[in-house]
Amino acid sequence: MFKRSDFPDDFVFGAATAAYQIEGHAFGGAGRTIWDDFAETAGNVVRAENGAVACDHYHRWPEDLDLIRDANLDAYRFSASWARVLPEGRGTVNQEGLDYYDKLVDGMLERGINPMLTLYHWELPSTLNDLGGWANKDVAKWFADYAEILMGRIGDRIWRTATINELWCVSVLSHYLGAHAPGVRNVRTAVRAMHNVSLAHGTAVQALRAMGIGEIGAVCNFTYPEPFDDGPETMAAARRMDDLHNRFFISGFFWKQYPEEFLHHVGRHLPEGWQDDMDVVGSKVDWLGVNYYTRNIVAAADGPWPATREVEGPLPKTQMGWEIYSEGLLHFLRMCHREFTGDTPLYITENGMANPDVVQDGAVDDAMRISFLESHFERAREAIADGVPLKGYFVWSLLDNYEWALGYEKRFGLVHVDFETQKRTPKASYHALKSALSR
């Protein structure tokens, strides 16, 4: 592995999780969410698993925060559950939920861990979905109100705040591809959700600024769309994928506009008056979070816009079937910095891999994850050497957890979790990172 001294002194090393994936949503008076609903319908989630118990982090958080401290990590990226704070999405506050996040944040500070909060990581309260959810423009106001209530309680101790995790997943994956909750497959709904989620982000940024809160950013799941060959049709297809996956969101944030080709093909589905929202969508952010896992090899296809298909690549793959391709991270960071973000600090807010890890004699040998992390840390160093203002790196994930539609089988953790006994076993990668980060 690398050494801490290979990176700038102020570079931040962390691990990441999300509320629904670890907390145990059945505990503590949280309201129902779209993931509870989605998991109930056969065919949506592997073995119909849900986040009711997950890693029982709701009760075991002190042990989990100890693991973060003991790994010599500087920061922890976690998320809060909207329905834990507001069971119906609006109105009545669940005090137990606020108390929980209050204790959790204090627990981080007591251990010298910087809290990086994500306000929304995918579990919309069901009552709001009944009102149209992300397809209803009112969601922007609902979200900002929730953000104010939560931050009114813990905002004084948060180190960095991200509004929404992965706007592409919230909109396209969940409302066009139907692979995530609420499982809608409709282009019009999806395009509206793309705008509304961008607007919700901007509306929350402004609400938090008005409270005096700084260091606010957004987290996007970017992909590196690699053209299958260099023919003009393929190149155009890769560009369309780039527009839909990456550029729609970053041009909204940094240029207050959406890509021209996107507007030409599907812009008619945007909510009426969307142009008037662009100043809010493009509210200044203090940093941008990049979640990076793999590349996508793209070719042209028949059918409606974006008319692309993915081609399987030749490189070694993780348990998710994703190619291990650290170069894509470097390409993406360079592009982002040069074309969009300039001096705005970037964080790698998620990077990691799933592996079918098992405990043997009390240990987990995940050598493949160690070399995965090594290669991606190396690309991060190259980006910094190249002038990209990259300020930190968060491994996904601290713990094995609920991998959404794929249930509990895909293991992303630095720490193994036995979902029968809830026993935590740090993997070899955890120990490798811990010694790399020792001071």
CB of 294 to ligand GBH, least distance (A): 9
CB of 349 to ligand GBH, least distance (A): 8
Cα Rg of the chain, angstroms: 20
Task: For residue 405, state whether it binds ligand GBH (rule: CB under 6 A).
Answer: yes
**Binding piece for ligand GBH, criterion CB under 6 A, among 56-64, 97-105, 266-274, 400-408:** 400-408
Q: Looking only at residues 70 through 99 of this chain, which bind ligand GBH when binding is defined by CB under 6 A? A: none
**Measured between alpha carbons, how far apart are the two ends of the chain, in Å?**
14
User: Which of 173, 237 has the CB closer to ligand GBH?
Assistant: 173
Q: In terms of DSSP bridges, do strands 160-165 and 216-221 run parallel, antiparallel, or are they unpaired? A: parallel
User: What character string, x for contact with ligand GBH (CB under 6 A) and - otherwise, covers 282-321?
Assistant: ---------x-x----------------------------
Contact between 85 and 149 (Cβ < 8 Å): yes
Residues 6 or more apart in contact with residue 288 via CB below 8 angstroms: 217, 218, 219, 220, 250, 253, 336, 341, 344, 345, 346, 347
Amino acid at 238: A
Task: For residue 179, state whether it binds ligand GBH (rule: CB under 6 A).
Answer: yes
Task: For residue 350, state whether it binds ligand GBH (rule: CB under 6 A).
Answer: yes
CA atoms within a 13 Å half-sphere pointing along the CA-CB vector of 214 = 0
Catalytic residue among 23, 49, 123, 166: 166
Judged by CB under 6 A, the residue of 396, 399, 424, 425 near ligand GBH is: 396
Angle at 349 between CA 439 and CA 297, to 5 degrees: 125
Task: For residue 165, state whether it binds ligand GBH (rule: CB under 6 A).
Answer: yes
426 phi, psi to nearest 5 deg: -60, 135
Q: Look at residues 323, 425, 310, 339 and name the one whose alpha carbon lies nearest to residue 375.
A: 323
For residue 361 the two structure tokens come to 């004699």
Amino acid at 51: G
Q: Look at residues 400, 393, 392 and name the one whose alpha carbon lies nearest to residue 366.
A: 400
How far apart, in whole angstroms, are the C-alpha atoms of residue 435 and residue 379?
20
CB of 172 to ligand GBH, least distance (A): 10
Q: In terms of DSSP bridges, do strands 424-426 and 415-417 run parallel, antiparallel, or are they unpaired? A: antiparallel
For residue 358 the two structure tokens come to 């098992």
3-state secondary structure of 120: strand
How far apart, in whole angstroms, are the C-alpha atoms of residue 122 and residue 28?
19
User: Which of 293, 430 has the CB closer to ligand GBH?
Assistant: 293
CB of 170 to ligand GBH, least distance (A): 10
**Binding piece for ligand GBH, criterion CB under 6 A, among 7-15, 56-64, 161-169, 369-377:** 161-169
Torsion sign across C-alpha atoms 205, 170, 158, 29: positive
CB of 219 to ligand GBH, least distance (A): 8
Task: For residue 406, state whether it binds ligand GBH (rule: CB under 6 A).
Answer: yes
User: Which of 242, 350 has the CB closer to ligand GBH?
Assistant: 350
How far apart, in whole angstroms, are the C-alpha atoms of residue 250 and residue 271?
19
CB of 337 to ligand GBH, least distance (A): 21
Task: For residue 166, state whether it binds ligand GBH (rule: CB under 6 A).
Answer: yes
**Binding piece for ligand GBH, criterion CB under 6 A, among 30-38, 62-70, 106-114, 398-406:** 398-406
Looking at residue 341, the DSSP 8-state letter turns out to be: I
User: Which of 189, 291 has the CB closer to ligand GBH?
Assistant: 291
User: Which of 219, 280 has the CB closer to ligand GBH?
Assistant: 219
How far apart, in whole angstroms, are the C-alpha atoms of residue 114 and residue 66?
13
Judged by CB under 6 A, the residue of 12, 15, 18, 190 near ligand GBH is: 18
Q: Is 404 annotated as a binding residue?
A: yes
3-state secondary structure of 170: helix
260 is catalytic: no
User: Which of 270, 329 has the CB closer to ligand GBH?
Assistant: 329
User: Which of 282, 413 has the CB closer to ligand GBH?
Assistant: 413
Q: Is 403 annotated as a binding residue?
A: yes
Q: Is 322 annotated as a binding residue?
A: no
User: How many residues of this chain interact with ligand GBH, rule: CB under 6 A?
Assistant: 17
339 is catalytic: no
Angle at 227 between CA 300 and CA 410, to 5 degrees: 95
User: Which of 291, 355 has the CB closer to ligand GBH?
Assistant: 291
CB of 198 to ligand GBH, least distance (A): 17
Residues 6 or more apart in contact with residue 40 via CB below 8 angstroms: 48, 50
Q: Is 122 annotated as a binding residue?
A: no
H helices present in 9-134, as ranges: 19-22, 34-40, 57-70, 82-85, 95-110, 126-130
Q: Is 159 annotated as a binding residue?
A: no
Judged by CB under 6 A, the residue of 221, 341, 351, 429 near ligand GBH is: 221
Query: Contact residues for ligand GBH (CB under 6 A)?
Result: 18, 21, 165-166, 169, 173, 179, 221, 291, 293, 350, 396, 403-406, 412
Binding residues: 21, 121, 165, 293, 396, 403-404
Question: Catalytic positions, please?
Answer: 166, 350
